[in-house]
Amino acid sequence: MQFFFEVLIAGLLSGVMYALVALGFVLIFKASGVFNFAQGAMVFFAALTAVGLKEEFNLSLWVAIPLTMVVMIVLGFAIERIVLRPLVNQHDITLFMATIGLTFFLEGLVQLIWGSTVRKLDLGIPDVPIEVVMSKTGMLVSQFDVIAAGICAVMVALLAILFNKTKIGRALRAVADDHQAALSVGIPLQHVWGIVWAVAGIVALVAGLLWGSRNGVQFALTFVALKALPVLIIGGFTSVPGAIVGGLIIGASEKLAEVFIGPYVGGGIEGWFPYVLALLFLLVRPEGLFGEKIIRRI
């Protein structure tokens, strides 16, 4: 039973890490209806830029991170101006495709600037089991994961404040609800989209730093996006709390499945299990748990 809880906790904490990546997708989809496939590339771009700045210019990490933040904000606005603005009102799939093109571009660009070697990123958070928990219950709970979960909670809180309490947030919500109506009351759509992409860039930076310090900063960071997709499906593409809940569900269930079902079918099921689970969820709720219900009229 203790082992069960250990797996469950490890899963929930991994789930928070997935949710962190999923948040970036949600922000952009909510505001502009674009399924941003480049989110994974943005995570990689941000992490490598931060580490690159730190190592190549001998900066402290606490200087490199704000600098990268600036880079990500500029990048967000640039993407809006160069890629999205000319594609306004195009079919969803065209926009999706454009973000795939963007993925290639960003991957090439960042490796061109900083090289393709694997880099180490040390945030100063030790990745060891928490002693207190271990001595009391005998369970190993990673300190790093708990702190990461804390950071994620802070991020969600900040985003919630941004969305609900600020003027920009109101504009964002207005655009998310109805582009046309928002435009007609004078909200500058392009500007709002730029902000959303910039915020998504910063979310990518946070995700990139945490994932990068866990796994090393390397190309494989782009793959964490694949872990975020089932989270999105379950939570709904348009819901910030959905991303968190979805992350927890996916994280816990994929670990439990791998550990308790995996051995009977040859293991390695973590790759597809979350997707199948998400699919089953969708059969009951086609727009995810927290997604907006789409009412279809003729």
The tokens describing 127, both together, are: 């990745």
Structure tokens at 99: 């973000």
Q: Which is closer to another protein, CB of 171 or CB of 281?
A: 281
- Which of 173, 292 has the CB closer to another protein? 292
Hey, is 282 helix, strand or coil?
helix
Query: What DSSP designation does 272 have?
Result: T
CB of 158 to another protein, least distance (A): 26
What is the C-alpha to C-alpha distance for residues 86 and 192, in angstroms, rounded to an integer? 16
Of the pair 171, 235, the CB lying nearest another protein is at 235
Q: How far is the CB of 107 from another protein (least distance, A)?
A: 6
Least distance in Å: CB of 181 to another protein? 22
Residue 267, by phi and psi: left (phi above 0), alpha (psi -120 to 50) or beta?
A: left
Beta-carbon contacts of 6 under 8 Å, excluding residues fewer than 6 positions away, are 139, 140, 141
In the complex with another protein, the residue whose CB is nearer, 122 or 177, is 122
290 φ, ψ (degrees, to nearest 5)? -115, 5
Smallest distance, Å, CB 162 to another protein? 24
17/224 Cα distance (integer angstroms)? 9
Residue 293 · residue 287 · CB < 8 Å: yes
128 vs 160, beta carbon nearer another protein: 128
Question: In a 3-state reduction of DSSP, which class is residue 38?
Answer: coil
- Rounded to a whole number of angstroms, the minimum distance from the CB of residue 170 to another protein is 26
CB of 123 to another protein, least distance (A): 11
Is residue 41 within 8 A of residue 200, CB to CB? The reply is: no
Nearer to another protein, 77 or 144 (CB): 144
